[in-house]
Structure 1
Amino acid sequence: MPDRNGKIFYTSITSLSHISKNSRIVMHDIKRHLNAIKSIAKDKAVTEYIDDFIEDFSINKSVDYCNNPMVNSIVNRYKSFCDKFGVKMNIDIRSADFSFMSEPDITALLDNLLENAVEAAQNTENGFIDFLAFVRKNRYLSIHITNSVKNSIAVKNGRIESSKKSASIHGIGLKSIQRIVKKYDGEINMSFNEDDMTFTSNVVFEIPRLNYEY
């Protein structure tokens, strides 16, 4: 049974999920209202302000990348950040199945993986992140994230070796990722390619039998 802090955390994440869904509806309506005001506004400054507002708050950019609202919320947040800071983020998670994971665990896993990738990529020239997630053989969820890095990262046997450079890129979030991987009996493998200065995280989970068909 989770302790009081665990319950509070889960309740908070659940609330955030509902807020995220409601926010998308509200923002959709706001866009309609703003465009209505824009259509009758005679002041050019007003129409330009509305255009800037819509662009700044990414009202047009919310995308359903997969069928999981929490995953979409997280990915949209990081995609918006990447767009703002000039990091190219390629996303293909259409066939991903996160339904066997709790929302707090989805948040802990993806937030840390993507945060680490963004922090590394934004410090590189022509920074990029490739985020791929899919179901393999109808029973394995495979998550693959490759990003550009500025400095070499020491990796041994699929794990980052302790160093100041590694810590600066991944920090304590790595422990959170490993905790989630262990909780769901998954596997994680990390690699660094010195030829093109990229870092890759591969995470694989076996989807519980109730979530897939043979």
Structure 2
Amino acid sequence: MFFMITMIVSYIVVLQYAESETAQKNIYLKNTLFESYIKGLENQYYLVEQSEQNLKILRHDMRHFSAMISQLLDQHEYEEIRKTLCYIDDVTDENKIVKYCGNLMVNTIISNMMKRADSCQVRVNLDVVIKKDIPVNTYEFTAVIANLFENALDCVKNFTFEKRKIEMIVHCSETQLFIRTKNAYENDILFDPQTNLPKSKKGQNHGLGMQSALAFSDKINGSIDCFCDHGLFHLILFAKF
């Protein structure tokens, strides 16, 4: 009888510990996501302010450019006119706010991650097709995108410039979801035999990105797989709705 009570108490303690660990991991993931979201909003707000200011200056100077072009026309200086128009086009292009997709939260996270990639001189080949309203939880979906992007970025950021590149496809419609990432790797990748996903060698609070992707895939009845081929790491997540 005493042995049975001891077993029950031990089971309850282990269960409570497991629940506590899961709760802590969930809190950590949410905090990381919202921190990235807030930084993304700050970056976008700053870019909008800068663009508006630069375009105000351009609009103010347009009357001078118009007078200059008119005078150059009278002088038949067509090459100078071309240079002036190219300058105006360049200023306009430099102050465009990049919109990656129609979903505000996803767009904000991607903007933030692209800024990080640019600071590490990592080239990103990005293909994103996402509407404003999507058939999955936006927060969980955004967390998966951020985690997979961050994993690829962390993997290549210290490589030679030739290898510092990432490919990422994210398509989400009313009927299906497709995510694919591809990046170079150098060190051996340790795969979990049960999930076939990479296992982190860095200890606590690492490897949670892959766990988040797996949990999300399971929740939407999707499939997720990874493989290595000719020095490239591939991850594919697919689901039909």
TM-score class normalised by the smaller sequence: 0.5 to 0.7
Highest Rg: 1 or 2?
Answer: 2
**Residue 236 of structure 2 aligns to a residue in which SS?**
strand
Kindly report which structure 2 residues correspond to 1:1-214, keeping only aligned pairs within 5 A, or say none. 20=41, 24=44, 27-33=47-53, 36=56, 60=95, 62-94=97-129, 99-125=134-160, 126=162, 127-134=164-171, 139-155=175-191, 159-160=196-197, 162=199, 164=201, 171-193=207-229, 195=230, 197-207=231-241
Taking structure 2 as the reference length, the TM-score comes to 0.58
* TM-align CA RMSD: 3.7
Higher helix share: 2
**Residues 82-127 of structure 1: per-residue CA shift (max 9 Å, x gap):** 1111111011113678701222212221111111111001122221
* Pair 1:175–1:64, CA change in 2 (3 A): same
Which structure 1 residue ranges, 4+ long, deviate > 6 Å from structure 2?
37-40
The two structures have a TM-score, normalised by structure 1, of 0.65
Segments of structure 2 that go 5 or more residues without pairing to the other structure are 1-22, 62-93
Q: In structure 1, give the amino acid aligned to 2:137.
A: S
Q: Distance in 1 between matches of 2:108 and 2:52?
A: 21
- Contact 2:43 / 2:112 at 8 angstroms: preserved in 1? no
Which residue identity does 1:147 align to in structure 2?
A: N
Q: Which amino acid aligns with 1:172?
A: L
After TM superposition, give the deviation of residue 27 of structure 1 in Å.
Answer: 4.0
The answer to whether the Cα contact below 8 Å between 1:121 and 1:128 also exists between their aligned partners in 2 is: yes
Identity percentage of aligned residues: 24
